[in-house]
Homo-oligomer: A and B are copies of this chain.
Amino acid sequence: MFFTLILLQTALYFALAEHSYDIKWLDVPLDHFTFSSNKTFKLRYLVTTKHHIKGGPVLVYTGDEADIELFAKNTGFIHDVASVLDSLVVFVEHRYYGQSMPFGNQSLRTPENMKYLSTSQALADFAYVIEELRKEYFKSMISNDTFPFVALGGSYGGMLAAWLRMKYPTSVCGAVAASAPIWYFSNQVPCEKFYQKVTDVFETYGGDECVDVIKMSWKIIRNLTKEEKGRLTLSKSWSLCHNISSTEIDKLVDWLSDIYVNLAMANYPYPSKFLQPLPAFPVRVFCNKLYGANTNDTRTLLEVLNQAFQIYTNYSGQLKCHDVNSSADDSRKRAWRYQVCTELVMPLCSTDADMFENAKWDLKRYSEKCYRDVGVWPWRPDWIVQEYGGKNLRYFSNIVFSNGLMDPWSVGGVLANVSSNILAVTIPRAAHHVDLRDSDLADDNFVVQARKFHIRAIRKFLNIN
């Protein structure tokens, strides 16, 4: 009980504090697995020394598919751990994201320039930075000591934290992988599970009516946009940046679907600014906009949907228009497109059992789209399973996999203990890696308990009591 109280006080303190950091750069090999060239590039990492006491452990956040500062601002829990364990906190940026660009502003230009973008290279970067930190902070230790480095990450960063422990168990003595769908590859998870879970979140937080309206809306949108006039109506009603053409309807559907997915992922019990500025429980707020409206009327449906999805697209009220093509220009998304089009193929499909428009998983079509978008295609769809062992995790150790059961990605996560040191933490009502975020008074007891579990696990990884 005493421990809980302390944690809550710490939490309160941190909820108010800004987590400051020093920005550092390290020259890392461009291609870790080739030795005929000694090319390097500058990788960025952020260091917070505030809680660090000499000899204390190092918590390494394994960067995701965006600017590392975004994660530094949305992973407050790591500082709670640091304050308890006197740790250094380091956020390492993932190559080809943020400012860690191997070829400057040409990095994402061609497949040739992006060829060094892979999970293996990213893991080797992390191990390389850790080696550098070892030399800096643990000079006097000998090489067969266990160095007190622990990896943490959420989502893709969570996969990387787990894989770092799996591939470099002497670099990090353990990993906390939050909301890491490491099994959502090849045929390990049925492809319909993801959209079913999104639907589940809308049902739970928004009710059946909300799900029914969304489910019904696809057909109406398709019918309406068959004709020029209908497309103009929709473009105007939804403040699209340009009048949508007949060839862009698939894009529009994807854009709208993504909004629903993101609302479910970021359905935190308090206002947040992670994917977008959002209110508390944004799925509920979204669905509330749909209630009571006469959604049999197409214009009314368009109008209420527009009001509802602006919860996601325009909560700040600053947006001038909606660009359904926005992803094509966004360099961050281009790098991620490259990754999901090469290594990270996560088969998704939707059926009658969810609220999305029906769509089969079609690797051929997926590949063609990849080739159009980024000039590559997934020619080795089984690679991730082969490289990282698939469901066969028993040979690894010291990894905690946590999942919020109201997170769409939880369906690809590790939800049950695999062994005495590959452990699963499930958080019943939680969204995407909420446990890594700043503590908040709105967190329920399950989230608080999950964070306590993580701290106990990290102590165990580090062999401290």
Q: Which A residues contact B (CB, under 8 angstroms)?
A: 29, 31-38, 111-112, 114-116, 118, 120-121, 124, 127-128, 131, 143-146, 167-171, 173, 188, 342-343, 375-376, 378-380, 382, 385-387, 389-392, 394-398
Contacts and interface: CB of A to CB of B under 8 A. Distances in A.
Contacts of A398: 395
A29 B145 CA distance: 37
Nearest to A379: B38
Given A34-B116, A36-B115, A144-B391, 17 more contacts: A29-B380, A31-B33, A32-B120, A33-B33, A33-B118, A34-B115, A35-B115, A36-B375, A124-B387, A127-B387, A143-B188, A143-B385, A143-B392, A169-B395, A170-B389, A170-B392, A171-B386
Contacts of A380: 29, 35
B146 A392 contact: yes
Nearest to A397: B395
A277 to B, nearest CB: 35
The 7 closest A-B pairs by CB, nearest first: A35-B342, A170-B389, A144-B391, A169-B395, A36-B111, A36-B115, A170-B392
B118 A386 contact: no
A59 B384 CA distance: 24
Find the residue from A35, A121, A143 having the highest chain B CB count within 10 A. A35
Nearest to A392: B170
Contact of A36 (B31, B121, B342): B342
Contacts of A173: 395
A260 to B, nearest CB: 30
A376 B35 contact: yes
25 contacts: A29-B380, A32-B120, A33-B118, A33-B121, A34-B116, A35-B376, A35-B379, A36-B111, A36-B342, A36-B376, A37-B115, A38-B379, A124-B387, A127-B386, A127-B387, A131-B382, A131-B386, A143-B188, A143-B391, A143-B392, A144-B391, A144-B392, A146-B392, A173-B395, A395-B397
Contacts of A395: 169-170, 173, 397-398
A439 B29 CA distance: 46
Most buried by B among A31, A173, A386, A391: A386
The binding surface of chain A is classed by DSSP as: loop
A145 B131 CA distance: 35
A169 B387 CA distance: 10
Nearest to A188: B143
A395 to B, nearest CB: 4
B391 A35 contact: no
B35 A389 contact: no
A389 B121 CA distance: 17
Contacts of A391: 143-144
Nearest to A144: B391
A335 to B, nearest CB: 13
A424 to B, nearest CB: 15
Contacts of A343: 35
Nearest to A170: B389
A120 B121 CA distance: 11
A386 to B, nearest CB: 5
- Which of A111, A121, A392 neighbours the largest number of chain B CB atoms within 10 Å of its CB? A392
A116 B36 CA distance: 9
A107 to B, nearest CB: 13
A112 B39 CA distance: 13
A171 B382 CA distance: 14
A114 B35 CA distance: 9
A254 B144 CA distance: 34
Nearest to A142: B391
A395 B422 CA distance: 13
Contacts of A144: 390-392
Contacts of A394: 146
A160 B29 CA distance: 23
A392 B146 CA distance: 7
A170 B188 CA distance: 15
